[in-house]
Amino acid sequence: MRNKKRLLLFAAVAVCQLFVVLSMAWQWEDTLKTGQLFAWETAPVDPYDAFKGRYIDLGFKETSGPASDPSRFAHGQKAYAVIENNADGKAFISEVSAHQPAEKAYVKVKVSYVSNGRVHVQLPFRRYYLPEHLALPAEMAYRESAGKTGVAVIRLKDGYGVVEELYIGEQTLRDYLQMPLSGGR
């Protein structure tokens, strides 16, 4: 009887763990397939994560927006950044709110600080993972293209954001890496 209870407890814990992992993967895939598309200007570098491998650490130019109520925000607080596109088609934070927006695109963020009515936030999609063999060329390509605009294409859905693609100038990072060295890089 005691072993049967242990076995049932073990099975329940295993099912819960499997559910958590599968729901995280489903949320990521669902956001990529059905999320709203935004292009965000970046400034990436190439660090390493011992568990997940090489990634580009994305630093975004747009990390603040006007506060819906500046007195409501403190360092480390969770908030909602409402995202819109400007006339050039680039994403920007149009408002930071303590409450989840009803019908606007938004992403859940953490407040860094408030200054002059603007809330500076930490965006949740700061890493773009790539295959190991592309890591060094990607880092070198970014250094070579220092004068070009880097853009991360982000999909947003229900406050969750996923980096879909990175661009250097008008080309995807992968296409940029496949250009011959004498061909204009």
The answer, yes or no, to whether residue 46 has pLDDT greater than 60, is: no
Q: Cα angle vertex 53, ends 40, 168, to 5°?
A: 30
What residue segments make up the domains of the chain, in order of their start? 1-34, 36-60+125-185, 63-122
Q: Which tokens go with 72?
A: 């409501």
Q: In angstroms, rounded to a whole number, what is the distance separating the alpha carbons of residues 16 and 46?
A: 34
Q: What is the pLDDT of residue 52?
A: 57
Q: Tokens 């999909």 — which residue? A: 155
For the stretch 90-110, pLDDT in tens is: 899 999 999 999 889 999 999
pTM above 0.75, yes or no: no
Q: Which tokens go with 40?
A: 């965000």
Give the right CATH number for 36-60+125-185 from 2.40.50, 3.40.50, 1.10.10, 1.20.120. Answer: 2.40.50
For the stretch 115-138, pLDDT in tens is: 888 999 999 988 777 777 777 777
CA nearest 153: which of 162, 141, 145?
Answer: 162
Q: In angstroms, rounded to a whole number, what is the distance separating the alpha carbons of residues 131 and 154?
A: 19
Maximal C-alpha separation, the chain: 74
Q: CA–CA distance from 56 to each of 43, 101, 129 (Å)?
A: 9, 30, 6
